[in-house]
Chains A and B, each alone.
Chain A
Amino acid sequence: MHHTHELELFPDRKVTQVLFQEVKNAAELRQIAVDGQINAALINPTMLVHPLQVLVAANKAVHLQNTGKMKTRSLNSEIIFNLSPTNKISEAFKRFGISDGDDSVMVVMVHDKNESQLVEDIVTKVDGRQVPVEELSSLSDSANIRKLYKVCPQEETCGTLLDAVICRMATKDVM
């Protein structure tokens, strides 16, 4: 159901993604995340094309944390910031973080141990139905993603929407 990947560049750092639908306590979740009671990034899944998008953001975040070059204050906020095509932190949170009325949430955790306990803890905190991460594409709002990342039809002739999004994420700081 959930998806875990060990970062090749940072062995022992794993990224776990847990997806929920029919979420009823988004506001509460957002609050406890802000208070630092959940060590996770809470992401709006309608802005995600594929779990790889999250891995690219998380990998970059861990790299920047290790080299002391994060733009935001925590690893979790850095993951959200890396998803965004712009350099405005507040905008990244507005678009990619969860809002009080959201009914779906992607929970992303970077950790070094086995994830089962972490996933269990998250499942108890979220008032919603856990769904397989593979179902992420059915939640994607492609039109909105294209608009936000400014992907034109021409670019999609030489690659997928995921390719376009990843390229922008990887090169944001030098474009």
Chain B
Amino acid sequence: MAKERSGVIHELLRKAELLKQGAEARVYRAQFLGRSVIVKERFAKRYRHPGLDDKLTHRRTVQEVRSILRCRRGGISAPVVYFVDHTFHCIFLEEILGSLTVRDHIAFTQQSDSCEDRELEQLAQRVGQILAKMHDEDVIHGDLTTSNMLLRRGQEDKESDLVLIDFGLSYISSLPEDKGVDLYVLEKAFLSTHPNTEALFKVLLKSYTASSKKSSAVIKKLDEVRLRGRKRSMVG
């Protein structure tokens, strides 16, 4: 069956609720097999050569899905993958219900008057731990921000679950440099999104260092990458 031109989407997506449109993909919410799902559609890029576009898009889709599965196998919470449509490059993922982004959680907690330091520190520790676990599985997230981390309300009195999402730029690598860059991306996003959180991020890194078996090489690279960045003198 000939693959239809880009722009033609499933009936399902036509009726589904579009949540986000990025440069790379559209994200929808829909019902699928009786569950609430998120559908991530990597649409065709018409400015690219079609043969290349198809290969690239396919590769990105495959990398995303492989990273998610690797995380889950390592006990790191990431959405369940229900179905991958390789003809339209759509990934059908579990919708994490009853959740709040870490970004919003930090923002709300900082706004409220109650004593937030301890609570946010504990959160930072947990984030450090989960990222250490992820890097120990050699998964590079590629887009670490507090918007890509969800706090899912736990059942009954259990603690809320920290879930990583949006593995669209992720890949597998054992190189400390790649892990260092991953943390650098988070540091930049974290500090620019949440004012006055330098100490909090230090707690995160401390927790990461304590939890990962390979952390010293990674932190060393992180320091090197920090010296590189924008508006940084590379004079030796």
Binding site for B on A (CB under 8 A): 5, 7-9, 11, 52, 55-56, 59-60, 63, 66-68, 152, 154-155, 157-159, 163-164, 166-168, 170-171, 173-175
Contacts and interface: CB of A to CB of B under 8 A. Distances in A.
Nearest to A11: B11
A154 B75 contact: yes
Contacts of A170: 65, 81-84, 92
Nearest to A60: B83
13 contacts: A5-B33, A5-B34, A8-B30, A8-B33, A9-B10, A11-B11, A52-B35, A55-B34, A63-B83, A154-B74, A166-B80, A171-B84, A174-B66
B81 A174 contact: no
B62 interface: yes
Contacts of B68: 167
A8 B69 CA distance: 24
Contacts, number: 79
Most buried by A among B34, B62, B76, B80: B80
A151 B85 CA distance: 24
Interface in B7-26: 10-12
Interface string B75-96: 1111011111111000010100
B87 A67 contact: yes
A67 B86 CA distance: 10
Most buried by A among B32, B66, B73, B92: B73
Nearest to B63: A174
B72 interface: yes
Contact of A68 (B1, B69, B80, B86): B1
Contact of B82 (A11, A152, A166, A174): A166
B85 A163 contact: no
B173 interface: no
Interface residues of B, number: 33
Given A56-B83, A59-B33, A167-B68, 6 more contacts: A8-B30, A9-B10, A55-B33, A56-B33, A163-B72, A164-B72
B31 interface: yes
Given A8-B12, A158-B76, A159-B80, A167 B34 contact: no
A59 B83 contact: yes
Contacts of A168: 69
Contacts of A158: 72, 75-78, 161
A155 B1 contact: no
Contacts of A164: 72
Contacts of A155: 72-75
B81 A167 contact: yes
Given A67-B1, A164-B72, A174-B62, A9 B82 contact: no
Given A52-B33, A63-B85, A67-B87, A174 B65 contact: yes
A175 B92 CA distance: 17
Nearest to A66: B1
Contacts of B81: 166-167, 170-171
Closest 9 CB pairs of A and B: A154-B75, A158-B77, A55-B33, A170-B81, A163-B80, A174-B62, A157-B75, A167-B81, A171-B65
Interface in B52-72: 62, 65-66, 68-69, 72
Given A170-B83, A170-B84, A159 B33 contact: no
Most buried by A among B11, B33, B92: B33
A8 B82 contact: no
A174 B80 contact: no
B109 to A, nearest CB: 24
